[in-house]
Amino acid sequence: MRTIVCGDAHGQPWLIQNILDRSEYDVRKDRLIFVGDSVDIGYSALDCLNILLDNKAEILWGNHDLAYILGKSIWPQNQFDYDFYDKLMEVKDQIKVSTQYGNIFITHAGISEIYFKNINKNMDIVSQINSNSLEELWDNGSPIWYRPTKDNPPEKSLVQVIGHTPPGWLTQTGLQLDNFISVDPYSTIRFDKTRYRYVVIEDNKIELIDSNIK
């Protein structure tokens, strides 16, 4: 079984569909994980969510999705989409904060050293993260919001695949560190209809596939 990880489509469904087509995703055999942010920037958030549901994706919370549920302001933020909100509320209980593949941890924004210090290492890390209330996750240090800095780097003992618009210093290194890999296609603008960026995990090996990297 391959595990395909993507995210941050931000209302642009072709950013998901291109990955399904390019990877030759097979819903009967492959695992699809979406690390959040279906909404804002583009204007087809419901289409993004429906593609994911139709393809039996495991959907994780992104900060833009969570803003809809909690009624929070976020930037950039489109005019409220009631159809997307209704569908998101319908499937809300299916959405998680974290999942994993073996020893690879998958969240929207990643797990920092500081956050990791408060986790009980003798218990299942993913279950602990998922036990947080949505309100508790609306915090800059949570796996929904965290962005690495020199003073608050990713937890070194974990291998992580994440989404979330990365900080500038990380984009300059190809949007990844050795143990902290972002699948965000950097959706601050509407990308052309050929754009894709995703990770394939198979046999505990991570392969990053990006239409901009030859």
For the chain, residues with pLDDT lower than 70 are 166-177
Count CB neighbours of 111 within 10 A: 24
- State the pLDDT at residue 169: 52
Can you tell me the distance from the alpha carbon of 147 to that of 182, in angstroms, rounded to the nearest whole number? 11
For residue 168, the model assigns a pLDDT of 60
Q: What is the pLDDT of residue 91?
A: 97
CATH code, domain with 92: 3.60.21.10
Do 169 and 117 contact (CB within 8 A), yes or no?
A: no
- What is the distance between the alpha carbons of residues 54 and 125, in angstroms, rounded to a whole number? 29
Count how many domains the chain has: 1
pLDDT at residue 186, rounded to an integer: 85
> How do 180-182 and 197-202 pair as beta strands?
unpaired
Q: Are 183 and 172 in contact (CB under 8 A)?
A: no
Both tokens of residue 83? 């159809």
pLDDT for residue 165: 78
Give all strands of the β-sheet with 58-59 in edge-to-edge order: 58-59, 31-34, 3-6, 197-202, 205-210
Q: What is the pLDDT of residue 176?
A: 55
Range(s) of the domain holding residue 95: 3-210
Query: So what's the pLDDT on residue 87?
Result: 97
- Model pLDDT, residue 177: 66
